[in-house]
Amino acid sequence: MIPPPAFFPTLLTFHLFPFHAPITYFGFDAPFGRFSSKTSNLNINGNVAWAIAELVSPITFITTLLINPHPTLNKPSRILAGLYLAHYGHRAIISPLILSPKRSPLHVIVALAMGLFNVFNGYLVAMGLAFYPPQDEINFKFWIGIAGWALGFLGNVYHDEVLNDLRREPSERLVTSHLPEDDDSKSGRYKIPRGGLFKYISFPNYFSEWIEWSSFALAATSFSTPLIPLPLLSNLVMKTGIRSNIVQTISKIWWPSYLLHPTWMFVLAEITSMLPRALKGHLWYKEKFDNYPKDRKAVIPGLL
């Protein structure tokens, strides 16, 4: 059984997404959070907009499996599907609508971009788990991936709640934020986050999410079976009218084929979306706080 006709064109289109990273790093700041414009007429409620945009992913994931004929999900794929929906259940409902204090307004363009990203991601991950599942036999690599996913998920939730606590009243805080009394802030309501991996990096919530989805991809993919055979890729490109010599050139380029799996593309797309914001956000912290820890990195402990 082969994937529906839309799968490969959608996957190839998603491969173009990471190329936006230089634009978002050198060009402009996405207008939300600390970089939001408080006066734009296109701003919408941050909590509600975030919830709606993130709900697109699990809705697309479930709808894709319901309306597209596909092989029955094996046990590892069912486990991974459950983890995927658990992440987005927290990210789309529990975090923005139940736990999070009032967020900065979200520009409508950002909300639409998030929704579009989640349409691609929900569809492709669902199809990847159905048509290119991990091995039926649950092995050590799979459990390593599951453990890494859990570690990353819990780290993401914890560090998000540290940030949320900075906006809560002291009696409402859920975790210990280690807020000092002498934060020298030139940024209004923002404070220096402390606790957990904030000791080492400015964006441990990003770092934890990268661990989460890298581990998910590790569990989801088989390193012994290529996802897209090159002849199939060549046939697909030929149907678009691209000249055969270009196809032949492409087919000679070696690339680890398992990295074409939607779950690894999700990792790449997340990193290229979040890394520019982490680097610029780190510089913003250093500019706004005279006493910001000088040895704290941006997003990877000890490195970056």
- In 193-257, alpha helices (H): 204-220, 230-239, 244-251
Span between the terminal Cα atoms of the chain, in Å: 44
Residue 226: predicted pLDDT: 44
Phi-psi region of 196 (alpha: psi -120 to 50; beta: other; left: phi over 0): left
Name the stretches of the chain with pLDDT < 70: 20-40, 171-172, 176-189, 223-259
- How much is the mean pLDDT over the chain? 82
pLDDT digits (tens, 9 = 90+) for 270-302: 999 899 888 988 998 998 888 899 999 999 999
Contacts of 293 (CB under 8 A, 6+ apart): 192, 199
Q: pTM (2 decimals)?
A: 0.84
